[in-house]
Amino acid sequence: MIYFSSLPYKYSNIYIVKEDEFVKRIFLNDDSFLSFHENYNPKRSDLILKDEVMQLTEYIDGKRKKFDIHYELLGTKFQKIVWEKILGIRYSEAKRYSDIAKEIDRPLATRAVGNACRKNALPIIVPCHRVISTKGLGGFFGQDNEFSKIKAYLINLERTS
């Protein structure tokens, strides 16, 4: 069974999706979750996701810097390598896409690192918002203006907490 819960934040709602004891997806706005909901019809369960909602609420409130959430990374081998490296970026710090590419011994794979960030199903938990471009913030789930604002919000949240 697939379950979800949500919590409000500045831009919309954060939706957390859990299946087989693992958080598998997090959505940062209503539109992206509604598409998922139409396809998979998850059941709302605030009780099953109580701890995850609490941890994400604490993060949004600036009171949590690390998570103790059981999750499963859904992606290709390359994407999982990138995400594992990104998990090592400390709270309130940032690295460039090119830094991650070099750290995984693929120095020419800067764009592929950006694409892996765009495919990240667990934003905030796997903090792709901490990966920036040499020319500014860079994208966040593509170049959508709403998601760029969310990326800036998350970076600023961490820097001021």
Could you report the per-residue pLDDT of 100-128, keeping only the tens digit for each?
999 999 999 999 999 999 999 999 999 99
- Is the Cα torsion angle 16, 17, 22, 24 positive or negative in sign? negative
Q: What is the pTM of this model?
A: 0.93
For residues 111-136, one letter each, b for 16 or more C-beta atoms within 10 angstroms of the residue's C-beta and e for the rest, the string is ebbbbbbeebbbbbbbbbbbbbeeee
Could you report the per-residue pLDDT of 55-69, keeping only the tens digit for each?
999 999 999 999 999
Ramachandran assignment for 47, one of left (phi > 0), alpha (psi -120 to 50 degrees), beta (any other): alpha
Could you report the per-residue pLDDT of 32-63, keeping only the tens digit for each?
999 999 999 999 999 999 999 999 999 999 99
Residue positions annotated with a catalytic role: 128
144: pLDDT confidence band, cut at 50, 70 and 90?
low
Domains observed in the chain: 2-60 (no CATH), 77-160 (1.10.10.10)
